[in-house]
Chain A
C-alpha cells in the first residue's frame, strides 16, 4: 500500500543517492557555479594541481574537474574538506570492491584505507597506485620482503607481479586474496601431465592436493620451494615410507594415526606412553596430524601454525584470559607455550615439565630472589592444608585482572587470603 510516508522515504533515498555521486551538472547547480567554472575555479588557488593532472593516471573526477565530488568547497565535518569520512568517501562511487560473502578481504580495503595504495588525484602508475609493481605491496608486507630477500629459490611470478596470483581488494572464493583457490590457481601454469611435474612428485597423483601444504608459494631456500620445515622422508624423496606405491591408486597411508608415525618416532611414542598424563589429541584419530603437518610447514617442528594460534585453537579460554590480563606473561603473549608445557605428555598436571612449579617458573625467574616469603615444601598454604606454597599460590600464569597476574590485588587482597589476622 502506497502512502505519503513511503513517498517521502523514496524521495529521501533518491536525494541521498544523488548527493552521494553528484554529476558535473549537479555540482554546478548545487554550488551555483558560473558556467564552465567547475574545476577551473579550484585551480585558480590550487595551482600545483596543474602539474598533478598532467600525470599518466588521473582520477576521473579530477580529470573532469569535479573537485566537489569529493570535497565540500565551503566547510566540511571531515579533514581535507572531504564530503564524507576519509574511510568512506571512495565507497560512494567504488562500492563494489568487496564481493558479497568474500572469502578474504584486504584489510586496507575493509577499513577504507584506499589511499594506502591509491593516490586520490593522480599518479604516474596505472590505477593511480602510489608505487609501481611489487614495491607497493612489500612496503606493508615487510616480513614477506625479508623472507624473499633470504630465499634462494623464488617463485618466478613473485618477482614479476603480486597481482599474478592475488586480487588486491578481495577474493570471492579463495583465502589470502588469491584469484583462485589452490590447486586450481597453480595448475594454470604447472601442468601435472608433464613429465617433469610427475617426476618431481614421485609420480604421486597430487594434482588435487593443496600445493601450499608443501610449497611456499613465494619462495624458500629449500629445493622445490618447500616450506622452511620439511619432514625428512619428504626431503629424502622417500614418500613410500608413509604412502603406498602410487601405482596402487590414490596415495593411501600405510597405517592410520599415530601408528604410522611410530615407525620412525618410536622412542617418542614410548616416552609418551610412559607418562601419567597425555595430551589427548596425541591419542585421537588424527593423532600427530592434529598439530603437525606431514610434509612441510612454515613453522618449526612442522607445526601447522605458530603456537599461540595452534594451541589457542583448542585452548581459547587460556588465550582469552591472557588477552584480558592486566599484566602480560611473555611466553603466553608471544606464543611460546612449550616454554612451560610439554606438548605430548608429562607426569605433572598442565603437562608441566615438573610437578614443582618453582622448577617450571625457575627456568626464567629466580624465585629465590623474588621475595623473602616462605615457599616450598615446608610452607603450608594457609588456605588449604594439602597445598604447599609455590609460584601459583599467588600467580596465575595465563593472567588475572590484577597486576603481576596475582590472584588478588597485590596491595592487600592477595595477602589477606592467608594473613587473615591483619584484615581490618
Chain B
C-alpha cells in the first residue's frame, strides 16, 4: 500500500512547496455516517450492486440479490428504507437512479436493458436504445441521469455512449475512445459533461456538453487504485471513483487531480469490501454500495 501513501504525500508536499494552487491541496475526506443492513421488515440486503440518488436528497439501492430497489432516507446516523420497488420485468437490478418526481431508471443486469419505473413503483416500460447502423443489439453496462431527464448510457456492444431524451429519442451518440479497454461506469455532472470510467485501463475520459468525442480527463490512476468499478460527480465538480478491488474511494478534483483516497478494505462500519457503486446526493452525502459486505453505507464528504 506504500504507493498510495506516496500519492497522497506528493499532493501534500507539492502544496506545501507552493507548486499547486491552494485548491489543489484540498484533501477531501469521507466520514462514516450511517449503514443500511436491512429493510423495514428486517430483510437483509443481498449483493447490493448499485446505488443512486433519488428525490429530495434520498438514496436508491439496487438490492440485486433480492431483485428489488429500495428507497432510502438518511436522517442523521440512521438510514431507513421508506419504500420497496419490485417489478417482475426487472430480474436483477444492478444500477438505479431517480428524478425529483420519484420516477426511477433501473438497469437490469440480466437483460442489460434500461427500464423506467414510475413514482408509484409500477413498471413504465423499457428504454429503447436503437442499435448502431449494422451493429449488434445494445448491451448497457451503466448509465447516468442528466438534467432534464435524459439518460446517458454506455453501450458496450456498440462501443459508444448514447444520450436518450426523456421522450425516448436518440439525441447523441459518442464513440468510446479507441484506447478504452473495459468501461465500467458513466457519470454526468451539473454542466452536462459526461465522464467515462475505463476500469481496465484505470483512467477517466470526458466529453463536455456538445462534444462529439471523449478526451482523456484523468491521468492513469494505476498508482491510486486497483480496479475502479464506478464513479460519480459531486456538486462541486469533483469525481468520486469506487475502487472495487481495492476497497476504497479515490477523490479527483475538478481538474482530474488526485485529492485523496478514503476508506479501506474491511468489514466494520466505515470500511468497504468490493464497493460497486456510489452516488453523491448534492447535499454532502455519499452512498456506497458495499457489495461484499451486503450493505450500503452513507458518508459525509468534506475537508
Contacts and interface: CB of A to CB of B under 8 A. Distances in A.
Nearest to B141: A280
B182 A280 contact: yes
Interface in A33-85: none
A284 to B, nearest CB: 4
Given A276-B110, A349-B47, A349-B291, A317 B182 contact: no
Contacts of A363: none
Contacts of B266: 383
Contacts of A385: 37, 44
Contacts of A276: 64, 91-92, 109-110
Given A314-B200, A417-B267, A384 B181 contact: no
Contact of A386 (B157, B268, B274, B293): B293
A387 B293 contact: yes
B159 A284 contact: yes
B156 interface: yes
B267 A349 contact: no
A277 interface: yes
Interface in B268-283: 268, 274
Interface string A238-278: 00000000000000000011110000000000000101111
Interface in B174-215: 181-182, 200
Interface in B214-262: 226-227, 245-246
A134 interface: no
Nearest to A382: B267
A256 B227 contact: no
B157 A317 contact: no
A16 interface: no
B293 A384 contact: yes
A256 B139 CA distance: 14
A386 B109 contact: no
B156 A317 contact: no
Given A256-B136, A318-B245, A384-B268, A283 B295 contact: no
Given A280-B141, A285-B157, A314-B200, A256 B135 contact: yes
Residue of A256, A258, A321, A386 with most partner-chain B CB within 10 A: A386
B159 A386 contact: no
B157 A284 contact: yes
A386 B45 contact: yes
A318 to B, nearest CB: 7
B292 interface: yes
A281 B184 CA distance: 11
Interface string B69-88: 00000000000000000000
Complex A-B, nearest 7 residue pairs according to Cβ-Cβ distance, in ascending order: A383-B267, A317-B226, A386-B294, A284-B156, A283-B139, A276-B92, A314-B200
Interface of A: 256-259, 273, 275-278, 280-281, 283-285, 314-315, 317-318, 321, 349, 381, 383-387, 417
15 contacts: A257-B136, A280-B141, A280-B156, A284-B156, A285-B156, A285-B159, A314-B181, A314-B200, A317-B226, A317-B227, A317-B245, A317-B246, A349-B274, A387-B267, A387-B293
